[in-house]
Amino acid sequence: MTQPAITDRDIILTGDRTTGQLHLGHYVGSLRQRVQLQHVCRQYLLLADAQALTDNMGNYVKVRDNVLQVALDYLAAGIDPDKSVIFIQSLVPELAELASYYLNLVTVARLERNPTIKDEIKLRGFERDIPAGFLTYPAAQAADITAFKATVVPVGADQIPMIEQTNEIVRRFNASVSREILVEARAVVPEQGGRLPGIDGKAKMSKSLGNALPLSSSPDDIRQAVRMMYTDPNHLRVSDPGQVEGNVVFTYLDVFDTDVDRVAEFKAHYQRGGLGDTVIKKHLEEILQELLAPIRARRETYAKDPGAVMDMLKKGTAKAREAAAATLSDVKSAMGLNYF
Amino acid sequence: MTQPAITDRDIILTGDRTTGQLHLGHYVGSLRQRVQLQHVCRQYLLLADAQALTDNMGNYVKVRDNVLQVALDYLAAGIDPDKSVIFIQSLVPELAELASYYLNLVTVARLERNPTIKDEIKLRGFERDIPAGFLTYPAAQAADITAFKATVVPVGADQIPMIEQTNEIVRRFNASVSREILVEARAVVPEQGGRLPGIDGKAKMSKSLGNALPLSSSPDDIRQAVRMMYTDPNHLRVSDPGQVEGNVVFTYLDVFDTDVDRVAEFKAHYQRGGLGDTVIKKHLEEILQELLAPIRARRETYAKDPGAVMDMLKKGTAKAREAAAATLSDVKSAMGLNYF
């Protein structure tokens, strides 16, 4: 799919639920793009604590504590708080207020048809006991996006229906006040390499699946993770021909080894036999150690002064509030809710 | 049903959707009690513009304009803004924020089982196209009630399930943070005379049914309304025996004529024959003219200076925000969302 280029006139809204530290999958899927894009256009990074609570009400301590952890991951990955606005969702009350109006612009039936919500409901085993906040989450997400007049929302392919839902709300609101107050956004789906499999070969790297490599991993964690990595279970002897497809080591080399020719040589050698897992794993480990060492070092430096990080979040949140308040004011004025 | 007395330790939360001027039905069902209760305990009166928008998104001008009209009706009926806190819902954003958290404490299935919501959905003919804001309205109402730590919510009998829903949210929240942050409220249902039939004899006086007598009615409006009032369709000649049950004139006399003995005499006379509709209507009209004259006069006085009324609403809203912000702060702190 060819996507229009992101330009300096775009505004990006993206972020993460604060339910755990970020890992290599986040780095590949979003963080490294954000580090680049912060030089291209304005970028808002949402620490989605309120959204995390929609299915973690009993786990609010975890949600709260991971606000700092995710912020550390951002900084460690190279997000520059002078370039990107990093903010805490629950401290921008304008978002809840916008969402409360958007709830009037979407029907229950439409929410229930949302494929992303359907999948997530299945994934979480909610059945009929779906928290209302979970079903209505698309209205809250529409608030997050429109509050900043975001034009670009980087998402996985499975999240495209959420952006369509946002744009429906945008069009319906603008139509109901006969003015172009809200701005439509486009979903930008990462090309190749957007999703990194877990070290066990499962499609998704995820902390809860126990197959993730956190960005804060120690050299030893990295060594062990690569050692445990899923390769070709039938590649028993070095001399045997081995399979490259579904072999996590090669998938990772495709993503992380910038020397494409060398990877191609490794693959050919592995397929005809004579290349052992130990050798390719050693090679991958070196690349990952090199990638993660500066990230870990930056993380450790920032982690020594959590007060300074929270101060950065306070500033980012103030900037975000200013933008969200301006949109909310436009929205409420358009509905005549500007009494004084 | 015996209900515990309202004392000076209670806090009342009540109010009206701002979709039209208030009428005699509101006066009987709620306004006159509020005028008394404002001397007993703290009372918050909500001008529910945001709530009115849940099913009036296309009609926001009406919703906005009736904020002033309902405020005028309150003042006309004798509500004293120094005793009662009158405020505009959409200007207390803490309510939307509280509601956003409460949405996580109630399931979609539970909302769909709410008898009040079920009835309203049928009444409004929503079928499957229920706006999400309408289905989730009990969470918003729980916010309105709990924000002010209200202990008493005067409601019609059909609204009792809404208060039960609020108390479920209160208990669930307190349990999830293991602290008694939110306060349960009790529904107080008016005894006899809580609901005034329309002048056509239909069970409910309602502007949209065209059977209402607005508080701002002119003497001529009142005269005409009483003239059109439904009596006994079989009472053709003065000498005929007439029926008192379902006869709106007698229902109104029961409510408005303080001279109980005289009403009893009228009824007996009407039942045995010889008392014409013209006579009893003339009597009722005098009573209604006397009741509504000072209300209309006060309304006209206040209406001459809408700026002063809006200023009063501004002050009330500031008071309401202060109370709601304190509760929201307690709620967010209890969930650990107090970062700075």
Asked if the C-beta of A99 comes within 8 angstroms of chain B's C-beta atoms, the answer is yes
Amino acid code (one letter) for B208: S
What is the C-alpha to C-alpha distance for residues B16 and B49, in angstroms, rounded to an integer? Answer: 9
CA B19 from chain centre, in angstroms, equals 12
Q: What are phi and psi of A43, to 5 degrees?
A: -135, 125
Of A63, A133, A176, the CB nearest to B57: A176
Do the beta carbons of residue B12 and residue B6 sit within 8 Å?
Answer: yes
Q: What does chain B come to in residues? A: 340
Grouping H, G, I as helix, E, B as strand and the rest as coil, residue A187 is strand
At residue A193, does pLDDT exceed 60?
no
- pLDDT at residue B262, rounded to an integer: 96
Residue with tokens 């436009």: A330
For B314, nearest residue in chain A (alpha carbons): A340
What is the C-alpha to C-alpha distance for residues B127 and B64, in angstroms, rounded to an integer? Answer: 27
Q: How far is A200 from chain B (nearest CA, A)?
A: 34
Six token digits for residue A238 = 């070095």
CB-based contact B94 A93, cutoff 8 Å = yes
Six token digits for residue B104 = 């996580």
For B107, nearest residue in chain A (alpha carbons): A131
**Which residues, numbered 141 to 200 in chain A, qualify as contacts with chain B under a Cβ-Cβ cut-off of 8 Å?**
176-177
Bridge partners (DSSP) listed for residue A42: A11
Q: How far is B252 from chain A (nearest CA, A)?
A: 37
CA A273 from chain centre, in angstroms, equals 38
What is the C-alpha to C-alpha distance for residues B55 and B48, in angstroms, rounded to an integer? Answer: 12
The continuous run of DSSP H or E covering B59 comes out as none
What is the C-alpha to C-alpha distance for residues B272 and A258, in angstroms, rounded to an integer? Answer: 104
Chain B residues with CB under 8 Å of A53 CB are 101, 104, 335
Chain A residues with CB under 8 Å of B139 CB are 132
Bridge partners (DSSP) listed for residue A87: A46
Rg of chain B (C-alpha set): 22
What is the C-alpha to C-alpha distance for residues A204 and A172, in angstroms, rounded to an integer? Answer: 35
pLDDT tens for residues B303-325?
999 999 999 999 999 999 999 99
Comparing CA positions, the residue from B101, B47, B42, B103 lying closest to residue B70 is B47
What is the C-alpha to C-alpha distance for residues A300 and A319, in angstroms, rounded to an integer? Answer: 26
DSSP 8-class letter at A237: S
Q: How far is A193 from chain B (nearest CA, A)?
A: 34
**DSSP string covering A47-105, please?**
EEHHHHHTTTGGGHHHHHHHHHHHHHHHHHHT--TTTEEEEEGGG-THHHHHHHHHGGG
- pLDDT at residue B130, rounded to an integer: 86
At residue A1, does pLDDT exceed 70?
no
Residue B193: band (very low, low, confident or very high) from pLDDT cuts 50, 70, 90: low
Which residue did the predictor score with more confidence, B310 or A210? B310
What is the C-alpha to C-alpha distance for residues A63 and B302, in angstroms, rounded to an integer? Answer: 51
Do the beta carbons of residue A285 and residue A56 sit within 8 Å?
Answer: no
Chain A residues with CB under 8 Å of B99 CB are 96, 100
Of B55, B136, B313, the CB nearest to A136: B136
Do the beta carbons of residue B160 and residue B188 sit within 8 Å?
Answer: no
Q: How far is B82 from chain A (nearest CA, A)?
A: 20
Six token digits for residue B126 = 């929503």
What is the C-alpha to C-alpha distance for residues A321 and B319, in angstroms, rounded to an integer? Answer: 23
**Which residues, numbered 298 to 317 in chain B, qualify as contacts with chain A under a Cβ-Cβ cut-off of 8 Å?**
310, 313-314
CB-based contact A136 B140, cutoff 8 Å = no
CB-based contact B55 A104, cutoff 8 Å = yes
Comparing CA positions, the residue from A53, A36, A17 lying closest to residue A206 is A17
Order of strands across the sheet that contains A152-154: A84-88, A42-48, A11-17, A152-154, A186-188
CB-based contact B130 A111, cutoff 8 Å = no
pLDDT tens for residues A84-142?
999 999 999 999 999 999 999 999 999 988 888 788 777 777 766 888 998 999 999 99
Grouping H, G, I as helix, E, B as strand and the rest as coil, residue A10 is coil
CB-based contact A96 B93, cutoff 8 Å = yes
Asked if the C-beta of B100 comes within 8 angstroms of chain A's C-beta atoms, the answer is yes
Comparing CA positions, the residue from B126, B164, B166 lying closest to residue B146 is B166
- pLDDT at residue A115, rounded to an integer: 85
Of A60, A111, A135, the CB nearest to B335: A60
CB-based contact B136 A140, cutoff 8 Å = no
Asked if the C-beta of B67 comes within 8 angstroms of chain A's C-beta atoms, the answer is yes
What's the complex ipTM?
Answer: 0.91
Residue in B54, B95, B100, B329 to test binding to A, most A beta-carbons within 10 Å: B100
What is the C-alpha to C-alpha distance for residues B116 and B98, in angstroms, rounded to an integer? Answer: 22
Grouping H, G, I as helix, E, B as strand and the rest as coil, residue B42 is strand
Torsion of CA B47, B49, B52, B53, to 10 degrees: -170
Which residue did the predictor score with more confidence, B160 or B3? B160
Q: What is the mean pLDDT of residues B79-106?
A: 97
CB-based contact A111 B134, cutoff 8 Å = no
What is the C-alpha to C-alpha distance for residues A186 and A146, in angstroms, rounded to an integer? Answer: 12
Amino acid code (one letter) for A116: T
The continuous run of DSSP H or E covering B44 comes out as strand B42-48
Q: How far is A146 from chain B (nearest CA, A)?
A: 17
First to last CA, chain A: 49
Residue in B17, B62, B104 to test binding to A, most A beta-carbons within 10 Å: B104
Six token digits for residue A84 = 């990107």
Chain B residues with CB under 8 Å of A108 CB are 108, 128, 130-132, 135
For A134, nearest residue in chain B (alpha carbons): B104
Of B97, B131, B310, the CB nearest to A104: B131
Grouping H, G, I as helix, E, B as strand and the rest as coil, residue B151 is coil
Bridge partners (DSSP) listed for residue B185: none
What is the C-alpha to C-alpha distance for residues A113 and A96, in angstroms, rounded to an integer? Answer: 23
Of A63, A106, A339, the CB nearest to B91: A339
Do the beta carbons of residue A14 and residue A46 sit within 8 Å?
Answer: yes
What is the C-alpha to C-alpha distance for residues B207 and B217, in angstroms, rounded to an integer? Answer: 13
What is the C-alpha to C-alpha distance for residues A93 and A90, in angstroms, rounded to an integer? Answer: 6
Six token digits for residue A302 = 């920032």
Which residue did the predictor score with more confidence, B126 or A165? A165
CB-based contact A108 B99, cutoff 8 Å = no
Buried b (16+ CB within 10 A) or exposed e, A151-166: bbbbbeeebbbbbebb
Q: How far is B149 from chain A (nearest CA, A)?
A: 20
Do the beta carbons of residue B142 and residue B99 sit within 8 Å?
Answer: yes
Chain B residues with CB under 8 Å of A336 CB are 60-61, 63-65
pLDDT tens for residues A274-333?
999 999 999 999 999 999 999 999 999 999 999 999 999 999 999 999 999 999 999 999
Residue in A68, A70, A102, A104 to test binding to B, most B beta-carbons within 10 Å: A104
pLDDT tens for residues B240-265?
999 999 999 999 999 999 999 999 99
CB-based contact A310 B130, cutoff 8 Å = no
- In degrees, rounded to 5, the angle at the alpha carbon of residue A157 between the alpha carbons of residues A202 and A98 is 120
Six token digits for residue A34 = 């954000």
At residue A146, does pLDDT exceed 70?
yes
Burial class, A200, CB count within 10 angstroms (exposed 0-12 / middle 13-18 / buried 19+)? middle
Q: How far is B318 from chain A (nearest CA, A)?
A: 12
CB-based contact B130 A136, cutoff 8 Å = no
Q: What is the mean pLDDT of residues A189-197?
A: 75
In whole numbers, what is the pLDDT of chain A averaged over residues? 93
* Domains of chain A by start residue, with CATH: 11-195+305-334 (3.40.50.620), 217-301 (1.10.240.10)
Chain B residues with CB under 8 Å of A61 CB are 336
- pLDDT at residue A202, rounded to an integer: 87
Region of A44 please: left (phi>0), alpha (psi -120 to 50) or beta. Answer: beta
Buried b (16+ CB within 10 A) or exposed e, B165-175: bbbbbbebbbe
Six token digits for residue B212 = 């209402």
At residue B1, does pLDDT exceed 60?
no
What is the C-alpha to C-alpha distance for residues B23 and A242, in angstroms, rounded to an integer? Answer: 84
